[in-house]
Chain A
Amino acid sequence: MKNRHLLKESIEALLEKYPFLGAFFEDNKLEVEGSGHLTFPEFLQGFDREAVEENAMDLESLEEGLVTYVEQMLSFLGLDREEGVWELTILAGRDKSGNPEGFDEITIRRSDIVSIVGPTGSGKSRLLADIEWTADGDTPTGRRILINGETPDKKWRFSSGNRLVAQLSQNMNFVMDLTVREFLELHARSRMVEDEEAIIGKIIREANHLAGERFDPDTPVTSLSGGQSRALMIADTAILSTSPIVLIDEIENAGIDRKKALALLVGEEKIVLMATHDPSLALMADQRIVIRNGGIHKVLPTGDAEREILAELAEMDSYIADMRTRLRQGEKLSKA
Chain B
Amino acid sequence: MQLVTVSGPPSSGKTSVILKSIQALQSRKLKVGVVKFDCLYTDDDILYEKAGIPVKKGLSGSLCPDHYFVSNIEEVVQWGRKMELDVLVTESAGLCNRCSPYIKEVKAVCVIDNLSGINTPKKIGPMLKSADIVVITKGDIVSQAEREVFASKVHSVNPRSITMHINGLTGQGAYELSTLLHDGKENLDTVKGKQLRYPMPSALCSYCLGETRIGDDYQMGNVRKMEMGDGHEK
Contacts and interface: CB of A to CB of B under 8 A. Distances in A.
Nearest to B24: A140
Looking at B114, B163, B176, B199, the one whose CB has the most chain A CB atoms below 10 A away is B176
Contact of A27 (B122, B162, B173): B122
Contacts of A140: 24, 27, 175
B172 A241 contact: no
Interface centre among A53, A166, A172, A242 (most CB of B within 10 A): A172
Given A53-B202, A65-B158, A68-B159, A167 B146 contact: no
Interface in B91-147: 98, 114-115, 117-118, 121-122, 125-126, 129-130, 139-147
* Highest count of chain A CB atoms <10 Å: which of B115, B129, B145, B170: B145
B211 interface: no
B115 A161 contact: no
Nearest to A183: B145
B151 interface: yes
Contacts of A129: 172-173, 175-176
A167 B159 contact: no
A189 to B, nearest CB: 8
Given A125-B170, A125-B172, A129-B175, A168 B121 contact: no
Contacts of B118: 176, 186
Contacts of A125: 167, 170-172
Given A56-B125, A191-B148, 15 more contacts: A29-B122, A65-B159, A125-B172, A140-B175, A160-B152, A167-B139, A168-B144, A171-B141, A173-B141, A174-B143, A175-B115, A186-B118, A186-B149, A236-B143, A241-B148
Interface of A: 23-24, 27-29, 53, 56, 58, 61, 64-65, 68-69, 72, 125-126, 128-129, 132-133, 138-140, 157-158, 160-161, 163, 166-169, 171-176, 183-184, 186-187, 190-191, 229, 233, 236-237, 240-243
Interface of B: 24, 27, 98, 114-115, 117-118, 121-122, 125-126, 129-130, 139-149, 151-160, 162-163, 165, 167, 170-173, 175-176, 179, 198-199, 201-202
